[in-house]
A and B are shown apart, each in its own frame.
Chain A
Amino acid sequence: DGGITQSPKYLFRKEGQNVTLSCEQNLNHDAMYWYRQDPGQGLRLIYYSQIVNDFQKGDIAEGYSVSREKKESFPLTVTSAQKNPTAFYLCASSIRGTSGGSADTQYFGPGTRLTVL
Chain B
Amino acid sequence: EDQVTQSPEALRLQEGESSSLNCSYTVSGLRGLFWYRQDPGKGPEFLFTLYSAGEEKEKERLKATLTKKESFLHITAPKPEDSATYLCAVQATGTASKLTFGTGTRLQVTL
A interface footprint on B10-54 (CB within 8 Å = 1, 0 otherwise): 000000000000000000000110101000011111100101000
Interface of chain A, main secondary structure: loop
Q: Indicate whether A105 sits within 8 Å of B49 (C-beta atoms), given known contacts A48-B98, A50-B96.
A: yes
**B32 with A90: CB separation less than 8 A:** no
**Roughly how many angstroms separate A17 CA and B32 CA in the complex, as a whole number?**
39
| Number of B interface residues in the complex (CB < 8 A) | 28
**Roughly how many angstroms separate A96 CA and B31 CA in the complex, as a whole number?**
14
**A45 with B99: CB separation less than 8 A:** yes
Query: A: which residues have CB within 8 A of B?
Result: 4, 6, 31, 40-45, 48, 50, 56, 58, 88, 90, 94, 96-99, 102-111, 113
Counting from the closest, the 9 A-B pairs by CB-CB distance are A103-B32, A42-B101, A108-B43, A104-B97, A43-B101, A108-B44, A97-B97, A111-B43, A110-B43
